[in-house]
Chain A
Amino acid sequence: MKKILITVLALIINISLIYSQERNLPNIEVKTLDGNSFNIQELENDNNPIVISFWATWCKPCKKELNNIAEVYEEWQEETGVKIIAISIDDTRSMSKVAPYVNSSDWEYDVYLDSNSDLKRAMGVSTVPHTFLLNGKGNIVWDHRGYIDGDEDELYEKIEELGK
C-alpha cells in the first residue's frame, strides 16, 4: 500500500514538474529588414521583459496597437526596460511596404519579417494582432489576441508585474 502511495506521490510530483515548465520560443528563423536571418530564440534584453507583437501592413488594429504603444514606448522602456519586437506576417504581396511603413511611422521597435508564416504557425497565431509577453528568462508568460483601444494599459500592467 505504502509503495503504491509513494509511487503515486512521485508521479504527481513528476507531472506537476512537467507542467510547471514554462513556454519557450520556437526554433524558427525570421528575416531582418536588412536581409539577415535571425533565429527568434536568440532574442535577448538583459533579463528585462520582451513583448512580441504579430502584425501586418494591411491590419488596422495591429497598426493602431503598435502606433499607440509607440507614443508611450520611451516611457515604458525607462520604467521597465521592456523591448518590443514587431513581427510582420506580410507575404510577398505587401512585404516591400513594411520598411517604408515602419520608417515613415518612426517606430523604434525591432522589426522582423515572417513572410512564409513559419513563426506565426509555430506560435499558434491564427489571427493578427496577437501579442506575447516574455519574462526576463525568455519564457512566454502571457499572450493576448486582438486589439481594442486601451489594451496597451493591460499589457503594461503585466509588464510591471514582472518587475516586482
Chain B
Amino acid sequence: MKKIIKILSLLLCVHSLNGQNIGEIHGDFNLNMQSYLEDASINAVAADEVIRNNSYLNILFTRNNFTAGVRYESYLNALLDYDDDFKGNGIPYRFATYSTSGLEITAGNFYEQFGSGLIFRSYEEKGLGIDNAMDGIRLKYKIGNGINLKTFIGKSRTYFTYADGIFRGIDGEIDLNQTFNLESKTKYIFGGSFVSRYQQRSNPLFELPQNVGLYAGRLNLINGGWNYFGEYAYKINDPLNSIQQENVNYASGSAFTSSLTYSRKGFGITAEIHRADNMLLLSDRDRIGKSYILNYIPTLSKPHAYSLLALYPCATQAMGELGVQLDVFYKIKKGTILGGRYGTKLNFNISRINGLKGGNSMLNDQINFTPELISFSEELYYSDINLEINKKLNKRVKYNLVFANQTYNKDFLEGKTPGEYGVINSTIGVLDISYKIKKGHSIRMELQSLMAKQLETASKKEEGDWLMGLAEYTISPNWFFAVQDMYNYGNEDASKKLHYINLNIGFIKGANRFEIGYGKKREGIFCVGGVCKLVPSSNGLNFNITSSF
C-alpha cells in the first residue's frame, strides 16, 4: 500500500512538473574547415597549421517569458580570410532576457539597431568576420497604444574582447494612428534616437571630446501601396586621435536616407537617395577597421548573387558620398506574347554613387569646409545599371538572364594611389538555366561573361575579361554536386590567364547540411551590405557542417 502511495505521489510530482512547462533547449552548430596549399600561380600561401577551423555552437534555453543563450566560438586557428585576432576558444556571447507586462530586460550580449542604423547598429555577419555585439543592459518597453521605447548601455565586442568606448542609447517610436485612434487611411510612424560614446581623453596635443553624441529622427508614411521612409542623422564632432593636425577633424557629421516605394499586383517601384558626410562611428576612436564600425549607412546598390556581377562590388563611404537608386519590378502577364504561359518577371535597377563636391566636412585650424547638401562631385565611386529577366518556359525549363554595366572606382574604393588602376568599366552577361530531368532530379547551368576596360590610362593593368561556367546536379531532397570554373582569359599577363576550378558536393537531411569542396579561390573583395573584406587567394579543401536542433 505504502509503495502504491509512493508511486502515485511520484507520478503526481512528475505530472505537475510537466504541467509547469520545464522549458525548451534549442541551438545550432556551424563548422568551417579549410586546408591551405601553396599555389605560386595565384600567390596562395600554405598555412603552417595545414588545416584551419572556425566553429560555432549556439544554445538557447526558453521557458515562458525567459530566454538565456550562449555561443561557444572556436578559432583553431581562424580561416585566413578572418582577422588574426580571432584566436582560440571561448564563450564571447551570453545573455539572459525576460519580459513582463510590456517590459523586456536583457543582461549580457545583444544586437540592436536604431532606425536604419545611421547612428547605431550592432550586428554579426559571419561571412565578413564581423561581430560587434553589445555587452551590457538593454531595456525595451512597450508603453502601449503604439508607443515603444528602447534603451541600452554597453560596450561593443571586437574579437574576444571589448572596444574602449562605452555606449549609451535611447530610441523611441510612436505610431500616431494607434496612439490617437486616427481613422486616417495613411499610417504615420515617427521615431527618434540618441546615442553617446564615452571614451577617455588621451591626446597629448589636441583636446578631444570625451563624450560624443549622435541623434537621428525618422518618419514612415504608409498609404495603400505607397510607402515613404526618411531618416536624418547628426553626429557631434568626433576627431580621430592623431597628433597630426590635418587628421584631426572637428567638423560634425550628418547623413540622411530617403526612400519612396509604390507597388501593386504585378508592379513595384522603389526610388532612393542617401547622403553621408563625415559619418563614421567607431567603437574605439583610436582604432581603424571594419570590426570597430558601429553605425551603418545602407549601401545604395543592388546586392548581386552571381559571381561575376559581384566581382567589383560597391562599398559604402561613410566619410562622404551621395547616391541614388531606382528599382522597377514588373511581371508581364501570362497569356501575352512576351509573358508566355507562365508570365515573365523583369527587374530593372540603376544606381549611381559619387563623392561629395569638395570632399567631406573638415574643421581644424587650417581648414573650414562644409559641402553643399546636394552636390555630386566629378568623382564617380560606383555605378550599376542592370536588367534581370526571369522566365519559366515550360514545366521543365526555367531561366534567368542578367545584363549589367558597372563602373568601379578601384583606386578610391580599394584605397590605391590615384592613377594606379583608375576606374574600371565592365559589361556583364549572365544566363542561369534550370532543367528538371525527372521528379527530384534537376540540372542547373550558369554561363557568365565579364568584359572589362580601364577608363583612364593607369600605371597598372587590371585583370581584364572573365568567363565563368557552372554545372550543378541536384537530387532532392538530399544531394547536390557542382563544378565551376572561372577563367581570366583576358588577363594581359600570360602567367595570370588562369582557371579557378571548384568542385562541391553537399548532403542535406532536414536541418543538417554537410558540404565538401575543393578548389582555387581568387583574391578579391567580398562584401555584405556594403561592408567589405579582402579575401586572400587560396587553394585547398573545405568542409562545412551546419546543423540545428
Which residues of A come within 8 Å of B, CB atoms?
Answer: 2-3, 6-7, 10, 13-14, 17-18, 21, 23-24, 26-27, 34-37, 57-60, 71, 91-94, 96-97, 99-106, 115-118, 121-127, 142-146, 148-151, 153-154
Contact = CB atoms under 8 A, between A and B. Distances in A.
B116 to A, nearest CB: 4
A97 B60 CA distance: 32
8 contacts: A34-B187, A99-B268, A117-B111, A123-B26, A124-B549, A126-B126, A149-B476, A150-B474
Contacts of B99: 27
Given A100-B261, A104-B330, A149-B476, A93 B13 contact: no
Nearest to B305: A60
A35 to B, nearest CB: 5
Nearest to B225: A103
B197 to A, nearest CB: 21
Contacts of B264: 103
Nearest to B476: A150
Given A23-B26, A101-B329, A124 B548 contact: yes
B interface: dominant SS: strand
Interface residues on B, range: 35 or more
A154 B510 CA distance: 10
B18 A17 contact: yes
Contact of A35 (B175, B262, B548): B175
Given A58-B304, A105-B329, 15 more contacts: A13-B14, A18-B17, A18-B18, A26-B67, A36-B175, A91-B298, A103-B264, A104-B330, A106-B331, A126-B28, A126-B546, A146-B513, A149-B444, A149-B476, A150-B440
A14 B12 CA distance: 11
A56 B510 CA distance: 20
Given A91-B298, A100-B327, A105-B331, A149 B434 contact: yes
Contacts of A126: 28, 30, 126, 546, 548
Most-contacted residue by chain B among A3, A144, A149 (CB, 10 A): A149
A13 B12 CA distance: 11
Contact of A101 (B222, B268, B298): B268
B266 interface: yes
Contact of A99 (B17, B261, B302, B508): B261
B293 to A, nearest CB: 15
Contacts of B17: 14, 17-18
A48 B117 CA distance: 38
Given A96-B270, A101-B329, A126-B548, A17 B265 contact: no
B460 interface: no
Contacts of B265: 103-104, 106
Contacts of B22: 18, 21
Contacts of B272: 96
Contacts of A23: 24, 26
B161 to A, nearest CB: 22
B187 A17 contact: no
Contact of B10 (A10, A94, A121): A10
B62 interface: yes
B380 to A, nearest CB: 20
A148 B509 CA distance: 12
Contacts of B434: 149
Interface in B15-29: 17-18, 21-22, 24, 26-28
Nearest to A23: B24
Given A2-B3, A92-B116, A153-B439, A124 B329 contact: no
Contacts of B432: 60
